Structure 1
Amino acid sequence: MNALLLTARLDIAESLRSRWFAFYSAVFGGIIVLLFVFGLTESRILGFTGLSRLLVTYIQLCVAILPVFILITTVRSVAGDREAGVFEYMLSLPVPLYAWFWGKMVGRFLVVFLPVFGAMALAALYAVVRGVGVDWPLFLVYTALLVSLAWAFLGIGMLISTLARSPDVAQTGAFLVWLTLLLFLDLILLGVMIRQQLPLEAIIAIAVANPLQSFRTAAILLFDPQMLVMGPAAYVILDSLGRGGYLAFAMIYPVALGTVAAGIGYHLFRRGDLP
């Protein structure tokens, strides 16, 4: 455990010194500032006012921005260390492979999640100071959804990084994975499934297997409890799981997916040719 924590601390220290982390933090901090500048805390849309309206917009933006940031920065982790010759140095030290791999993942999770959460916390603090209402249960649900989304793509990124033999290949693979999941959010998936005349339940099951889609649907459910914008799909989801059941699924499934992907990556990493 000490070796795992030390590895996580070293990865955090390395990330804090990098330029990508400063840019990454500035992006999410800048989003919150822009939303305040545009006065979203003063607007009222579909019954959402104050900080709730700002969080609704912020969470929708995270669907597109957060996964690609996590993938691109994470895939260089193992592949970059392999190319830089870090493995040879690591094997000369009394550091177990599991401690290095999982410690790196824990450290990277803290690095990628804290700026996202920090921007939300800053918005909540500003709202409290200004006397704007803060829906704390909604804030906690959004935080849990962001944790699950970040962990899912972090696990996928670690798997890609383990499979790739160079940082360039890893980044290309990460971008293709993100682009595929993004394209299959709605149009392509629904078009292919409908042409094959599959049952609606099967289409919905395949759709929510995409972590982007499960996160996006949960965000819509919080914004619109009846999910009117999703049409007949809303009836399948609500009748099968209900509002609370689907929110629980949207939090648990991405975490399980990220853990399984990282576990496969660790298995391949442990059995592979490290140098």
Structure 2
Amino acid sequence: MSNLILIAKIDIKETFASKWFLFYLITFAGLIAIFFVTGVVDSRVAGFSGLTRMLLLFIQICIIILPIFILITTVRSINSNREVGALEYLLSFPISLKEYYFGKALGRAFTIFLPILLALILSLFIAIFKDTAIPWGLFFYYTLLLLVLSFVFLSFGFLISSIIKNSELGLGFSFLFWLFLLAFLDLALIGIMMQSLVNENIIYAISLANPIQIFRIAAISLFDPNLAVIGPAAYFILDGFGRVNFLIYSAAYPTLLGIICLVAGYISFSRRDLV
């Protein structure tokens, strides 16, 4: 256990010294600052105002940038050590593969979660400073959704890093995987629905296996309980799950998927040539 914490600390120190982390931190803190400067907290659009309005904008941005940010940074976590020879050096010490792998995952999780949490805390301070109402239930659940989304893409990154040894290939595959989840999957499902006789419930079920789609719909449901903006799919979700059960599913399924991918990545890492 001590070695796992040691590896996590090493990874955290390396990340804090890297330029990508500074850019990552500034991006999320800067978004909140921009919302404050441009008066988003004071505006009202479609009935949303204050912190709710700020979180609504933050949701739309996170859906796009958060997954790719996490993928391109975590997919190099093991490969970068492998390519510079640090992996072979670290494993020459009495450190097991499990301690190294999960220590890296723990350290990377900390550095990914930290800027998100700081940005959300900053939004709270802004709301308090502006003397606006704070929807605490919505805020805490949305924070949970962000952490769950971050965790599942962290796991995807480690799985890719364990399977694909070359960093450049890993980055390319990560980008294509992100595009597939973000756009191609939805477009393909719409095409199938329009051109074939596949039952729409099957298509909706496949779509809800996409963690980005789940995050998007769960976030929308916090502001629009009837899910009117997603059309007929709302009937499948509300009738099949119910709003409360869907919110639970939105947090539980990506967490379980992330655990499976993280463990699968470790199995691949431990069974393949390390260098």
**Band of TM-score, shorter chain:** over 0.9
Displacement after TM superposition at 1:185 (Å): 5.3
Displacement after TM superposition at 1:72 (Å): 0.2
Matches within 5 A, 1:236-251: 236-251=236-251
Q: What is the TM-score normalised by the length of structure 2?
A: 0.97
Q: Does 1:210 align with 2:195?
A: no
Asked whether the 8 Å contact 1:11–1:107 carries over to 2, the reply is yes
Displacement after TM superposition at 1:188 (Å): 2.8
Counterpart Cα distance in 2 of 1:108 and 1:176: 22
Q: Does 1:225 align with 2:225?
A: yes
Instruction: Give the equivalent residue in structure 2 for 1:36.
Output: 36
Structure 2 residue ranges without an equivalent (≥5): none
Counterpart Cα distance in 2 of 1:159 and 1:125: 37
Amino acid at match of 2:133: G
Q: Secondary structure at the match of 1:77?
A: coil
Displacement after TM superposition at 1:178 (Å): 0.4
Q: Secondary structure at the match of 2:78?
A: helix
Query: Could you tell me the percent identity over the aligned residues?
Result: 45
Q: Does 1:145 align with 2:162?
A: no
Displacement after TM superposition at 1:257 (Å): 1.1
Structure 1 residue ranges without an equivalent (≥5): none
Instruction: Give the equivalent residue in structure 2 for 1:177.
Output: 177
Q: When the two structures are aligned, how many residues end up with a matched partner? A: 275
Instruction: Give the equivalent residue in structure 2 for 1:76.
Output: 76
Counterpart Cα distance in 2 of 1:197 and 1:147: 38
Counterpart Cα distance in 2 of 1:7 and 1:32: 32
Deviations along 1:36-66, one digit per CA (max 9) or x if unpaired, are 1221111223332211110111012100010
Instruction: Give the equivalent residue in structure 2 for 1:67.
Output: 67
Counterpart Cα distance in 1 of 2:131 and 2:102: 42
Asked whether the 8 Å contact 1:98–1:266 carries over to 2, the reply is yes
Q: Which moved more, 1:7-16 or 1:183-192?
A: 183-192
Q: Does 1:127 align with 2:127?
A: yes
Q: Secondary structure at the match of 1:34?
A: helix
Asked whether the 8 Å contact 1:60–1:219 carries over to 2, the reply is no
Deviations along 1:129-155, one digit per CA (max 9) or x if unpaired, are 221111111110111000110001000
Instruction: Give the equivalent residue in structure 2 for 1:257.
Output: 257
Amino acid at match of 2:22: A
Q: Does 1:269 align with 2:273?
A: no
Counterpart Cα distance in 1 of 2:79 and 2:192: 35
Q: What is the TM-score normalised by the length of structure 1?
A: 0.97
Counterpart Cα distance in 1 of 2:268 and 2:82: 14
Asked whether the 8 Å contact 1:185–1:213 carries over to 2, the reply is no
Counterpart Cα distance in 2 of 1:96 and 1:192: 47
Displacement after TM superposition at 1:9 (Å): 1.1
Instruction: Give the equivalent residue in structure 1 for 2:98.
Output: 98
Instruction: Give the equivalent residue in structure 2 for 1:86.
Output: 86
Counterpart Cα distance in 2 of 1:179 and 1:191: 17
